[in-house]
Structure 1
Amino acid sequence: MSGVLGDPKLQAIVDRLQAQSVAQEPVTGAYFAERIKAGDLSWEGFDARLTEFMADKLVALEPVKAEFCHLLCRSLRARRVVEVGTSFGVSTLHLAAAVRANGGGTVIGTEHEPAKAAAARAHFAEAGLAGFIDLREGDLRETLKVIEGPVDFVLMDIWTEMARPAMELITPHLRPGAVVIADNTVQSARGYERFFEFVRDPANGLAAMTLPFEGGLEMVVKG
């Protein structure tokens, strides 16, 4: 056994990618600090400068959060998972490993940037998990229009202005008891305002609480 994943080869791949992500953090942090100080960073979406800067950045979900999501998927016996924001596929590997351990199924991934999608697919193949992942490349407002079957679990780790559109598309497919995890909901609370408006609307049948992970991790449950 190797950690919660129980797969030494997969764990080695994940550890390598997490190390790459951590190595990028000082540069990424300095970039955002500079733009926030200049007042030219919008919560409404990526501009050309930000898109170019982020093209090679993994921004991987922290290991403890990724492992927590893996265990949630295992406990839910999740067979259909949606990941909103795949990047280089680190958290996707955790989700796909859970689906595999649960007897099979599909992780529907979303990635807007072609280069990141290509890198993620290479990592899926290296880990032997490609057969459990349906990576949809493009604008999620188009790629998530069709979701086959009930959804057991959702991981949302994306630029915050896309969180509500994603929830609007996914929520009708959530089975009772399904769980949605959204990352950095405290650190990026301003950007999540429209997401929370949707989650807190009683008409949508959702309940939520903020878990005490770094940056805030929102757990949403379908009633």
Structure 2
Amino acid sequence: MRATSTLQSPAVKNTLDRLFQDAAAGDPAIIASLRDHPARNGAPTEAAAMSELMRNAYLPVPREVGQLLYILASGVRARTIVEFGTSFAISTTFLAAALRDNGGGKVIATELHPEKVKRARQNLADAGLADLVEIREGDARETLRDLEGPIDMVLLDGWKDLYLPVLQMLEPRLRPGALIAADNMSNKDLRPYADYLNDPQNGYVSVLLPLGDKVEVSCWVGRGDAG
């Protein structure tokens, strides 16, 4: 008898359990070591340099946020999902599990650091979900530029100052009713993004959820005829 959800399949469950355990064991020390780094105090830092500093940090969504992502992707019967900020593919696993239960599709995932890309691909293979994910290595503003639509769902969980430009780049390819989930909304750097999403003229209906570090879930309804 098959599992009622791909999330309950042994390969997926064991992979997620391992990744959450590894994140809990390693991330606190990495984050603490960066507390006094110039990048934490407003000094300019190249994205590639900061990515190197965080190369071993999992920075996962909490498990309940992962379950929310699965629910959202399942609810809209998503076939094409874009993920900005893959890291070691914990959130990607939840999204790909939903696609498996939806009957197929593709997560177009992005990650800047090549070592994280390699490990993310292995984790997805361990979960039996690699066939549902394409990871594009590099700057998302470049790797997603030629992406074809329609896009059913977007997850924003990368560099905070890029949430808004990445979303605006993807907007022409969002299908009506597409969902956008943005993690870490308690971060003050995301105020411009929140203001944009909550301006009705920009075509979204949004709600802020008190899960993890706060998640903004938005539905693309379109701007309509400006005339």
TM-score for both structures, normalised by structure 1 = 0.89
Once residues 45 and 219 of structure 1 are traced to their aligned partners in structure 2, the CA distance between those partners, rounded to angstroms, is 29
Provide the residue aligned with 1:206 in structure 2: 204
Q: Is the 8 A contact 1:4 1:71 kept in 2?
A: no
- CA 1:45/1:159 → structure 2, altered by over 3 Å: closer, same or farther? farther
Q: CA deviation at 1:156?
A: 0.9
Structure 2 unaligned regions, length at least 5: 222-227
SS of the aligned residue for 1:58 comes to coil
Question: For 1:117-160, what per-residue CA distance to the aligned partner results, in whole angstroms no more than 9, with x for missing partners?
Answer: 01111112222211111111111010111222211111111120
Measure how far apart 1:32 and its partner are: 4.4
Q: CA deviation at 1:42?
A: 5.1
Mapped partners of 1:175, 1:43: distance in 2: 36
Distance 1:62 1:126 in 2: 20
What amino acid is aligned across from residue 22 of structure 1 in structure 2?
A: A
- State the SS of the aligned residue for 1:175: strand
Q: Deviations over 1:175-221 (max 9, x none)?
A: 111111101102x0x21133224323444311112111132110111
- Amino acid paired to 2:156: M
Contact 1:89 1:123 in 2 (8 A): yes
Name the Cα RMSD after superposition: 2.2
**2:196 alignment partner, SS class:** helix
Query: Which residue of the partner structure matches residue 158 of structure 2?
Result: 158
Does the CA contact (< 8 Å) of 1:43 and 1:160 recur in 2?
no
Residue type matched to 1:23 in 2? A
User: What is the alpha-carbon distance in structure 2 between the residues aligned to residue 147 and residue 39 of structure 1?
Assistant: 33
| Residue deviations 1:49-70 (CA, integer Å, cap 9, x gap) | x333201111111111011101
Q: CA deviation at 1:73?
A: 0.7
Give aligned-pair identity as a percent. 36
**Structure-1 residue corresponding to 2:27:** 25
Q: 1:41 to 1:21 in 2, by over 3 A?
A: farther
Name the counterpart of 2:171: 171
Matches within 5 A, 1:40-55: 40-41=41-42, 46=47, 48=49, 50-55=50-55
Mapped contact 2:106–2:133 kept (Cα < 8 A): yes
Over 6 Å off, 4+ runs: none
Quote the residue 2:220 is aligned against: 222
2:224 aligned residue:
none
Matches within 5 A, 1:79-118: 79-118=79-118
In 1, the alpha carbon distance for the partners of 2:56 and 2:87 equals: 9
Q: Deviations over 1:10-30 (max 9, x none)?
A: 110011011111112321342
Alpha-carbon distance in structure 1 between the residues aligned to 2:80 and 2:178: 10
Q: Which residue of 1 aligns with 2:65?
A: 65
**SS of alignment partner, residue 88 of structure 2:** coil
**Count of matched residue pairs:** 219
